[in-house]
Amino acid sequence: MKCFNCEEEARGVCQFCGLAICAIHRQTKTFITGYGKKTRSAIFDSGSKTGIHVSNASWCGQCDVHYQESF
């Protein structure tokens, strides 16, 4: 598969939308996922360490990422 932005072979895939990207056109963005194993009330009481936060996830630079508020 080729990079979405140029004709280079892709080296990765955007974590958010799935577009293929080469090493030059790879950007990074914070990726957050997971609500953890705890119930909602337990999260308010003691937090949850089972959610995932990747500060340098691969991003194509094309897709429009919105971070939404959640509990």
Among 11, 12, 36, 63, binds Zn ion (CB under 5 A): 63
What SS3 class is residue 9? strand
> Shortest distance, CB of residue 28 to Zn ion, whole angstroms?
12
What does residue 44 show for φ and ψ, rounded to 5 degrees?
-65, -35
Residue 41 contacts by C-beta under 8 Å, 6 or more apart in sequence? Answer: none
* Contact between 43 and Zn ion per CB under 5 A: no
Q: Which residues pair with 31 in a beta bridge?
A: 54
Binding letters toward Zn ion, positions 14-33, x by CB under 5 A: x-xx-x--x--x--------
What DSSP character marks residue 32? E
Query: Which residues sit at the interface with Zn ion, rule CB under 5 A?
Result: 3, 5-6, 8, 14, 16-17, 19, 22, 25, 60, 63
